[in-house]
Amino acid sequence: MNRQIDDLASKKDVERLIQYVEKLEKSFDYARDEISQLRIDFDLSQEQNPFNVNVWLKPSELAALLKISNSTVTKHRNEGLFKKSSVKEVVRGKRTDFYYHRINAVRDYSKIKPIQIAGRKILDKFA
């Protein structure tokens, strides 16, 4: 009789634990979705603020900033040098344009090659 009571208690504990884990999982999913949406909203607000410099650069603008060619920028993107947060794809019909985040793309590039700015300073790592 005592053995059956112990089994029932442990089954109830396991069921409660499963319910608690499911609640935690739902809360985590909700928090992850909220953070993702906040990031999107933040990026949009930064882009639309007239006092901010454009955060996203064309490949030619990034190439000029890094003192490399446009084809080198494309090659590095295809090789996966730039993280997902550094590149934005804009699909326009059959054409896809790529834009590079001003800070993240430079940070990614600085990991493979020091960056020379204004002919004076050399950054080993963009912080």
Nearest Cα to Cα of residue 77 among 90, 89, 61: 89
- Strand blocks (E) in the chain: 56-57, 87-92, 95-101, 115-117, 121-123
Contact yes or no for 62/100 (Cβ under 8 A):
yes
Q: Is 65 exposed, middle or buried (0-12, 13-18, 19+ CB in 10 A)?
A: middle
pTM passes above 0.75: no
For residue 9 the two structure tokens come to: 């208690």
* pLDDT 10s digits, 43-95: 777 666 666 667 889 999 999 888 889 999 999 999 999 999 899 999 999 99
Residue type, 78: N
Residue type, 90: V
